[in-house]
Structure 1
Amino acid sequence: MANIHINIGSNQNRRQNISAAIEALRLVFLDIKISSIYQSPAEGFEGDDFYNVGVNASTDLSVKETAKALRDIEQIQGRDRTQPKFSSRKIDLDLVLYDDVIDQKANLPRDDILKYAFVLAPLAELSAELIHPAKQQTYQALWESFQSSNEYGLTQYNINQVLQ
Structure 2
Amino acid sequence: MNYNKNGNFDSYNYGYTTPYMQRVDESMTVQQPQPGDKFTYPQNFTNALDLIEHALSGETEDRAFYTWLIGQADSEDDRQIISGIRDDEIGHFALFKQLFYELTGIMPQPTPGEQFVPPESYCDGLSHALMGEQNAVQKYRKILYAMQYPEHINMMIEIITDEIRHGILYSYLYSKNGCTS
Bin the TM-score by the shorter chain: under 0.3
Determine which structure has the larger helix proportion and give its number: 2
Q: Relative CO higher for 1 or 2, CA cutoff 8 Å, sep ≥ 6?
A: 1
Question: Could you say which structure has the larger radius of gyration?
Answer: 2
Q: TM-score, normalized by length of structure 2? A: 0.26
Determine which structure has the larger strand proportion and give its number: 1
